[in-house]
Amino acid sequence: MGATRRENHIEVLFDIKQFYDRVGMVVTYMEVEWLDLPVVDIGGTFDEEHVPQLLQFCTDNPEFHIVTCTGPWRLANKYVTGKRVYMLASGDQNPCLVLNSALDPNRALVAEEVICAALAILNQGKNVS
């Protein structure tokens, strides 16, 4: 039996880790720094003023693509104009892939893990001599 693919079929994930792993999210300022891009915050996010630079970076490095924060708890695995928060990724570039973590029944536990991970990154910086 052959496989088929439906164009424009939205695939919604609610597991943040699954989405981040699948799309290859660039999630820390250290990764952003290594890519020689401006560090905006510790989470690897960019604001609207950096969009031209991100678009050029993705053109020059086609293995990367832009992920857009389209609302609270929602990410689109593509560039969406006029939004305020953008990130880079280097994995699955399917533009129909969406994260809506508000649907996750374990959202409170995930939020705690994200905060702990962010605190660990901040603590790393404090312990550097």
Provide the 3-class DSSP secondary structure of residue 38. coil
Question: At residue 2, does pLDDT exceed 80?
Answer: no
Q: Which conformational region is residue 41 in: left (phi greater than 0), alpha (psi within -120 to 50 degrees), or beta?
A: beta
pLDDT tens readout for residues 24-58: 999 888 999 999 998 888 888 999 999 999 999 99
Task: For 57, list phi and psi in degrees, rounded to 5.
Answer: -60, -45
Q: Is pTM beyond 0.95 here?
A: no
Return the pLDDT at 3: 46
Q: How far apart are alpha carbons 108 and 110 in whole angstroms?
A: 5
98 touches 18 (CB < 8 A): no
| Mean pLDDT, residues 67-88 | 95
pLDDT tens readout for residues 93-123: 999 999 998 777 766 666 677 788 878 888 8
Picking from 94, 89, 95, the residue whose alpha carbon sits closest to that of residue 58 is 89
28-37: Cβ within 8 A, 24+ apart:
28/121, 29/121, 32/88, 35/88, 37/88
Q: How far apart are alpha carbons 113 and 104 in whole angstroms?
A: 14
